[in-house]
Amino acid sequence: MATTNDLKNGMVLSMDQGLWQVLEFQHVKPGKGPAFVRTKLKNVTSGKIIDKTFNAGTKVETATVDRSDMEYLYNDGTDFIFMDSKTYEQIPVSAEIMGSAKDYLLENGQAMIAQHEGSVLYVELPPSVVMEITHTEPGLQGDRSTGGTKPATLETGAEIQVPLFLETGTKVKVDTRDGSYLGRVN
């Protein structure tokens, strides 16, 4: 248990039959009336974001979430298998929990796994990864003033939009949060 005065960004609360991560919080002391805490909370499992206001000093139940850096080993057909680099313990993670992260994860890639009471809550990748383009149509010569883009398939099978001048075999940097092209890598 903690009070609303102890809230910090990233803290996970157990309330309303779910786990909620604190994204933002603000202590407000109006000129009139009691102080309160305005928060923005994200449901750890569904990703839903809500705004919630607590009276100052209200007790809230905190949840213990273990975050550990792990290495992605392989996909066994149904689950993605990760290994803790320190203990060599292997953990299966379902495709539903992986979400869009599976599109930007290569074998031996690093990821942060968050667990609560032995069950995996979510997988967090580094902000960007370097991947190779396995297929894209050749760029057309001519009008480049529009700065157009074309679809390209990455080595994981994910498809992103890249500039017209890129070719198959080029290594690119990709943002793992939204799948956007960040630049070419030599």
**DSSP tag of 142:** S
pLDDT level of residue 144 (50, 70, 90 thresholds)? low
Which stretch of 19-23, 46-50, 61-65, 146-150 has the lowest confidence by average pLDDT? 146-150
| C-beta separation of 72 from 102 below 8 A | no
CATH number at residue 8: 2.30.30.30
Triad 51, 68, 132: Cα angle to 5°: 95
pLDDT of residue 138: 82
Identify the residue whose tokens are 């994200």: 42
φ, ψ at 100 (rounded to 5°)? -75, -10
**Of 124, 148, 172, which marks where a domain is finished?**
124
**Of 12, 27, 60, which marks where a domain is finished?**
60
CA–CA gap between residue 50 and residue 24 (Å, rounded)? 11
Total structural domains in the chain? 3
Percent of the chain with pLDDT over 70: 95
φ, ψ at 8 (rounded to 5°)? -140, 155
Which domain range does residue 22 map to? 2-60
Query: Residue 29's CB: how many other CB atoms inside 10 A?
Result: 9
CA–CA gap between residue 151 and residue 143 (Å, rounded)? 18
CA–CA gap between residue 123 and residue 72 (Å, rounded)? 11
User: Are 45 and 72 in a shared domain?
Assistant: no
**pLDDT value at 41 more than 90:** yes
pLDDT of residue 117: 85
The predicted-structure confidence for 162-181, as pLDDT tens digits, reads as follows 888 888 899 999 998 888 99
**Of 45, 60, 75, which marks where a domain is finished?**
60
User: Are 161 and 181 in a shared domain?
Assistant: yes
Helix (H, G, I), strand (E, B) or coil at 6: helix
User: Are 137 and 108 in a shared domain?
Assistant: no
pTM tops 0.85, yes or no: no
User: Are 88 and 106 in a shared domain?
Assistant: yes
User: Are 135 and 171 in a shared domain?
Assistant: yes
User: Are 106 and 137 in a shared domain?
Assistant: no
User: Are 52 and 72 in a shared domain?
Assistant: no
Residue 157's identity, in one-letter code, is: G
User: Are 25 and 46 in a shared domain?
Assistant: yes
The predicted-structure confidence for 69-80, as pLDDT tens digits, reads as follows 999 999 888 899
CATH number at residue 171: 2.40.50.140
Identify the residue whose tokens are 């883009």: 149
